[in-house]
Structure 1
Amino acid sequence: MTERTAQPAERAEALTGRRMILLLALTCGVAVGNVYFPQAISPLIAEGLQVSPGSAALVVTATQLGYAAGIFLLVPLGDRIPHRRLIATLLGLAGLGLAAAGAAPALPPLAGAAVLTGAATVAAPVIGPMAAGLVGEERRGVVSGTLLSGSIGGMLLSRTVGAPLGEWLGWRAPYLVAAALSLLLAAVLARLLPTTTPTSRQRYSALLAEPLRLLRAEPELRRSCLYQAAVFAGFSAVWTGVALLLTGPAYRLGTPAVGTLALVNAATMLATPFAGRQVDRRGPDAVNLVCLLAVAGSAVVLLAGGAGGTVGLAALVAGTLLLDLGMQCGMVANQVRIYALRPDARSRLNTAYMTCGYLGGTLGSWTGARAYGAVGWPGVCGVVALTAAAALARHLGAVRVGGRSAAVVECR
């Protein structure tokens, strides 16, 4: 065996080592957490910068808008630039953006730094395709599941830790701690990640255009994108509004309550593998239907959360858990559907899918803040109900069309 043929096997073996997988999962968690902890500390930002809660919520919107832009503009580079260099650079830029946000003297520079942070903290969507390309087919499910658990854990724990840390040391502290973690991981991964060879020589403009061409050419990709964008819009509206609800007159709790509520939803880390098995057995459409119904039902449960007190708090726990389960398990079904379309273009399919999803999340954060300011918590629940209804209508229409097509083929 020559050195040239031995190197890929050695790299794959290095990647599949337990420590490397856990390190990559930790990286996914830190990167994804950078997008979500601002949701839990927006009331503290409002107080610290002496702006309205609605204005402070723009930081959440700016972060998610930057993340959506990063997925579209930077993730396709995973096919063009060696992964070690790209991932370390992205984490380094994210760390610098977080440090700038933590030092921002006013809301406009904070929002600008939030856009930079969101755009650069797209390590998780780059790591996933890298891992899939370096391990054997029999290991891809295990590695992908571990990375997804890391991402979910980062999403939940960042809010749980960020809120009390901000309450204790001020709103700047979560940004500075996240900056230190990102810069540390950039240095570690720059040394430990295996060397990879780019799979594409396309120009940057061609890489950017490919997800758009796939969206036009693949109806099932467009359908999956609609589901994720709609559900994530409702999800983001709730987590933007719930911080305002819990710290407002209905509950008068501190921002740590937001983090505690997020921690309750850690059950979603255990639910996604089960959802994956159900997708394998029943197909993506069946799982999507259950998930969309769960999201619609969460709007009703969450509505009771506006009443305050023990009953209202229980409704918030149950409603956010139902919403999180619907979104995360639905994501498994959506990704299984799109990855089956073009095995040779999964990274670009994922770019299109995640860009649409986070654009939906950005719109949801903005709409949720405005709905809360206009009519209070019922307005946020209305956003969830409307987005779920739109996705359900599209899904039922697709199932009916698919059933008629199958019947025509059977008759012929």
Structure 2
Amino acid sequence: MSRRMLVLLAVTCGVAVGNVYFPQAVGPLVASGLRVDPDSAALVVTAVQFGYAAGVFLLVPLGDRLSHRPLVVTLLGLTGSALLAAGVAPALPPLVGASALVGVTTVVAPIIGPMAAGLVADDRRGMVSGALLSGSIGGMLLSRTAAGALGQWWGWRAPYLVAAGSVLLIAVVLARVLPATRPPSGQRYPALLGRSLRLLASEPELRRSCLYQAAVFAGFSAVWTGVALLLTGPAYGLGAPAVGALALVNAATMVCTPIAGRQVDRWGSDAVNLVCLFGVLASAVVLAFGAFGGAPGLVALVLGTLLLDVGMQSGMVANQVRIYSLRPDARSRLNTAYMTCAYLGGSAGSWLGVRAWAHFGWSGVCALLGSLAVVALARHLAWTRAARRAPAALAAPPT
């Protein structure tokens, strides 16, 4: 894989993932433009997120059954068409329906990841996974800022139409340059869906990776749910733009994830996971000082969220490299199980974060993050001890 192709695939991942997140920035503009209340306009965000979860489970396994070029190009074409439909929607119901379709079809990032892993040597998978994840992070962070600016200048429809044009342009480019691949599996579609669940039951390394990411992503979601309440509450008295500004600080993770990928190639996934889990645990301590407010508290929030983001995203690189090495013929289905568990953990973390804030305030949110990090870290250390004993047990004479 050439560097130019890797950059193109990273940009594709960023644009696709950005389609899930940019509606968050234009919700108020949708409400005023379509003359509906803000709660109803929030259905647009809900629809695209639920659609994405459904797309990960239903469509990503097709990466093991179909050639990647036609699959990726077709999904991008459907996404672009759905974005166009959303951009010209005359009322809220068709906008919600189009948004759900955007979510279902904009799942090319988890399809491109396994495809790219199969196009490079084993000792380059960490670097490639880190680069693709960096593109996804960039799309997640920058799409909300860009959509907010476009919506403020030209109305809520502009971000949808610009996103549609970007997606369709990328589809045309990939149709010409994406390398042809041979599908690794000939199983029927129902068997592909069931295989993701069976892999989760039969592969302990997959379950371990899912536990790490679900726990850390749950803490991540809890923190970002609570930090919005903290910054807009009496401790800081800031507006909603402050939350977006804090999120942009974490664009540094775009630089850190490729570095993490190279460290995975050098030291292995388990060593990087250990460092990341300790980093997430340390972030809970740093974030707790954010409860004091003022400039010192704001510095603690910046440093703590940055440490948390780096730990979460770098750990994802390590986890994905581990699972991609398990079954070369089922990488898309492995990634389906992994991503589904991660998003379930994130959803649970958002729910738990709101409850922790309601009962214990910001300290409760930080304690929740720390507890989840301890759970993952304890599992990792237990596995490390068991792995060290296993060779010794095999070498010992029978008794």
Q: Structure 1-normalised TM-score?
A: 0.81
The one-letter code of the counterpart of 1:31 is A
Q: Take 1:299 and 1:58, find their aligned partners in 2: how far apart are those partners?
A: 32
Alignment of 1:76-115 (within 5 A): 76-99=61-84, 103=89, 105-106=91-92, 113-115=98-100
Alignment of 1:137-176 (within 5 A): 143-166=128-151, 173-176=158-161
Which one is further off, 159-168 or 389-398? 159-168
Partner of 2:261: 276
Which one is further off, 303-312 or 81-90? 303-312
Measured after TM superposition, the shift of residue 261 of structure 1 is 1.9
Partner of 2:353: 368
Is 1:231 paired with 2:193?
no
SS at match of 1:201: coil
Q: 1:212 aligns with which of 194, 197, 208?
A: 197
Q: Take 2:41 and 2:367, find their aligned partners in 1: how far apart are those partners?
A: 22
Which one is further off, 24-33 or 308-317? 308-317
Is 1:119 paired with 2:92?
no
Partner of 1:298: 283
Partner of 2:307: 322
Q: Take 2:242 and 2:392, find their aligned partners in 1: how far apart are those partners?
A: 53
Q: Deviations over 1:152-199 (max 9, x none)?
A: 222222234344445555655544433332233234333443444433
SS at match of 2:183: coil
Partner of 2:51: 66
Partner of 2:341: 356
The one-letter code of the counterpart of 1:50 is D
Distance 1:199 1:336, change over 3 A: closer
The one-letter code of the counterpart of 2:37 is Q
Q: Deviations over 1:329-373 (max 9, x none)?
A: 111221232223223332322222122112222333344355556
Partner of 1:199: 184
The one-letter code of the counterpart of 1:317 is V
Q: 1:35 aligns with which of 11, 14, 20?
A: 20
Measured after TM superposition, the shift of residue 208 of structure 1 is 1.2
Partner of 1:50: 37
Which one is further off, 143-152 or 206-215? 143-152
Measured after TM superposition, the shift of residue 256 of structure 1 is 3.8
Partner of 1:12: none
The one-letter code of the counterpart of 1:238 is V
Q: Take 2:306 and 2:343, find their aligned partners in 1: how far apart are those partners?
A: 20
* Aligned 8 A contact 2:127 2:265 in 1: no
The one-letter code of the counterpart of 1:352 is A
* Aligned 8 A contact 1:25 1:150 in 2: yes
* Aligned 8 A contact 2:133 2:317 in 1: no
SS at match of 2:373: helix
Distance 1:345 1:220, change over 3 A: same
Distance 1:331 1:142, change over 3 A: closer
Partner of 1:21: 6
Is 1:342 paired with 2:327?
yes
* Aligned 8 A contact 1:91 1:120 in 2: yes
Measured after TM superposition, the shift of residue 252 of structure 1 is 4.3
Q: Take 2:47 and 2:354, find their aligned partners in 1: how far apart are those partners?
A: 13
Pairwise CA RMSD of aligned residues?
3.3
The percent of aligned pairs where both chains have the same amino acid is 70
Measured after TM superposition, the shift of residue 120 of structure 1 is 1.4
How many residue pairs match? The answer is 394
Q: Take 1:38 and 1:370, find their aligned partners in 2: how far apart are those partners?
A: 25
* Aligned 8 A contact 2:64 2:331 in 1: no
Measured after TM superposition, the shift of residue 100 of structure 1 is 5.1
Which one is further off, 314-323 or 263-272? 263-272
Q: Take 1:177 and 1:307, find their aligned partners in 2: how far apart are those partners?
A: 41
* Aligned 8 A contact 2:134 2:258 in 1: no
Distance 1:331 1:293, change over 3 A: same
* Aligned 8 A contact 2:27 2:38 in 1: no
* Aligned 8 A contact 2:123 2:265 in 1: no
The one-letter code of the counterpart of 1:159 is R
Q: Take 2:366 and 2:90, find their aligned partners in 1: how far apart are those partners?
A: 33
Q: 1:381 aligns with which of 327, 351, 366?
A: 366
Q: Structure 2: any 5+ residue segments left out of the alignment?
A: none
Q: Take 1:370 and 1:174, find their aligned partners in 2: how far apart are those partners?
A: 33
Measured after TM superposition, the shift of residue 27 of structure 1 is 0.7
Is 1:131 paired with 2:116?
yes
Distance 1:138 1:316, change over 3 A: closer
Measured after TM superposition, the shift of residue 139 of structure 1 is 6.2
The one-letter code of the counterpart of 2:321 is V
Q: Take 2:184 and 2:329, find their aligned partners in 1: how far apart are those partners?
A: 11
Alignment of 1:249-288 (within 5 A): 249-288=234-273
Distance 1:289 1:132, change over 3 A: closer
Which one is further off, 370-379 or 189-198? 370-379
Distance 1:228 1:259, change over 3 A: same
Distance 1:112 1:371, change over 3 A: farther
